[in-house]
Amino acid sequence: MFVTALAASSLAMRVPLWVPATAVAAAISLPFGIVTGVVVFGARAWASRRDRHPPVEEAAVCAAIAAELHAGSSLRLAVDSACRNQPSPELVAAGRRAAAGAPAAEVSRLLASALDRNGRHAALAFSLADESGAAAAAVFDRLASRALRDAEIERELAAATAQARLSAVVVGGAPLVVLALLASTGRLGVFAASGAAGVTVAAVGLSFVLAGLGVIWMLLRGDR
C-alpha cells in the first residue's frame, strides 16, 4: 500500500519513478539502495548514449540549413547559423569551423560525426556543394524530410514494443534485485557455508543470470 501510494504521488508530482524506487530500496537496506541507485544510473546513462542526436534534432538542423540557403545565405554561413545554437558541441564546432573558412573535409567530418543518421549524406552534400558551388538547399530539404520520417517510425516502434521492452527489463532486473537483497541481508553466505557444492550452485546460477541479461541487453539494443 505504501509503495502504491508513493508511486501515485510521484506520478502526480511528475517525479521520475526511479527516485522513489531508489528511496524505498535504501529504506529496506542501505547496500540494497546503493546497488539499486548504481543500476538505475547506469541504465539511464546507457539509454542517453544510445541516441546522442534524435531524428527530430537532425531534421531541425537540416531544415535550418535549407531555409538559410533558400533565403540567399552562403553554404558556410547557413551551416554556422543552423548549428550555432544546437546543444551538440560537435554541431557548434562544425558551424564555427565552416564560418571560419576551415577546409571542407574538416567541416564534413564534424557533420558526419555529429549527425548519427544523416551525417554521411550531409557531409557529402556540404563537401560537393562547397567545392563545386552547386545548390544544396534541395538536398538538405530531403534530409530533413528523411529525418522526420525516421522520427515518426521510431515513435510508432517505441509504442508498439513498449510492453515487450518493459517485460524484458522486469525479467532481466528481477534477478539482480533478488541478488542485491540477498547480499544486503547476508543470506548469500549460505552458499559459502554449504561448501563446494553451494559455491558451485551459486556460480552456475550466476552464470545463467548473466547469460540471460546478455540476451536481454542484445534484444533491447536491437529493438530500433
Which tens digit of pLDDT belongs to each residue from 28-64?
A: 555 556 666 666 655 555 555 445 567 788 889 999 9
Q: pTM here?
A: 0.55
**Bigger pLDDT: 82 vs 174:** 82
pLDDT(201) > 70: yes
Domain edges within the chain? 2-51+161-221, 55-157
* pLDDT score at 143: 92
d(CA 28, CA 30): 7
Task: State pLDDT tens for residues 108-127.
Answer: 999 998 888 888 999 999 99
Which cell goes with 162? Answer: 513498449
For the chain, what percentages of helix, strand and coil (3-state, to nearest 5) are there?
A: 80, 0, 20
Q: How confident is the model at residue 12 (pLDDT cuts 50, 70, 90)?
A: very low
pLDDT(210) > 70: yes
Q: 22, 23, 19, 28: which is closest to 184 by C-alpha?
A: 28
Q: Which H/E stretch holds residue 119?
A: helix 119-132
Q: Are 68 and 126 in contact (CB under 8 A)?
A: no
Tell me if residue 208 falls in helix, strand or coil.
Answer: helix
Mean pLDDT of 153-176: 72
Tell me whether residue 115 is exposed, middle or buried, using C-beta atoms within 10 angstroms of its C-beta: 0 to 12, 13 to 18, 19 or more: buried
Q: 73, 52, 174, 176: which is closest to 129 by C-alpha?
A: 73
* Angle between the N-to-C axes of helices 18-28 and 2-12, in degrees from 0 to 180, rounded to the nearest 10: 150
Among 11-15, 38-42, 147-151, 214-218, the range with the most confident prediction by mean pLDDT is 147-151
Q: 151, 79, 147, 89: which is closest to 117 by C-alpha?
A: 147
d(CA 48, CA 155): 16
* pLDDT score at 8: 43
Task: State pLDDT tens for residues 23-37.
Answer: 555 555 555 566 666
Residue 73's CB is within 10 A of a number of other CB atoms, namely: 17
Start-to-end Cα distance in the chain:
36
pLDDT(74) > 90: yes
d(CA 8, CA 12): 6
